[in-house]
Amino acid sequence: MTNPNAGSAHSSKSLFAKLRSWEAFLTFALILIILVNSTLIPQYFTIANQINLFQLSIEKVIVALVMTFVIINAEIDLSVGSIMGLAACLFGWLFQNGISAEMAIVIVMIAGGLAGALNGYFIAIVGLPSLVVTLATLIGFRGLARVLVEDRGITGFPDWFDALGQQGLIGPVPFSFFAFIVLFIIAFIILHRSAFGRLTYTIGNNREVAEFAGVNTAAVKMKIFISSGLVAAFAGLLYAARVGAVRGDVALGFELDIITLVLLGGVSIFGGSGTMVGTLLALLIVLNLRNGMALMNVTGHIQTGVIGLLLIVSVVLPRLELTRLFNSHNSQGTKQ
The whole-angstrom separation of Cα 88 and Cα 251 is 9
Q: Which of the residue ranges 9-13, 73-77, 294-298 would you say has the lowest mean pLDDT?
A: 9-13
Query: What pLDDT was estimated at residue 332?
Result: 53
Contact between residue 200 and residue 296 where contact means Cβ atoms under 8 Å apart: no
Query: What pLDDT was estimated at residue 11?
Result: 44
- pLDDT range class, residue 150, cuts 50, 70, 90: confident
**Averaged pLDDT, 161-165:** 93
Burial of 317 (0-12, 13-18, 19+ CB in 10 A): middle
The whole-angstrom separation of Cα 289 and Cα 19 is 23
The whole-angstrom separation of Cα 4 and Cα 9 is 9
pTM of the model: 0.88
- pLDDT range class, residue 17, cuts 50, 70, 90: low
The whole-angstrom separation of Cα 331 and Cα 336 is 9
CA 72 to chain centre: 12
Helix (H, G, I), strand (E, B) or coil at 268: coil
The whole-angstrom separation of Cα 291 and Cα 276 is 22
Contact between residue 224 and residue 75 where contact means Cβ atoms under 8 Å apart: yes
Helix (H, G, I), strand (E, B) or coil at 246: strand
What does each C-alpha distance from 190 to 117, 186, 198, 226 come to in angstroms? Answer: 20, 6, 9, 15
**Averaged pLDDT, 40-54:** 91
Contact between residue 118 and residue 137 where contact means Cβ atoms under 8 Å apart: yes
Does pLDDT of 1 surpass 50? no
- pLDDT range class, residue 318, cuts 50, 70, 90: low
What does each C-alpha distance from 156 to 104, 133, 249 come to in angstroms? Answer: 14, 35, 18
Helix (H, G, I), strand (E, B) or coil at 153: coil
Q: Which phi and psi (to 5°) does residue 154 adopt?
A: -115, 125
Domains for the chain: give ranges and CATH numbers. Answer: 23-329 (1.10.3470)
Contact residues for 215 (Cβ-Cβ < 8 A; gap 6+): 199, 202, 203
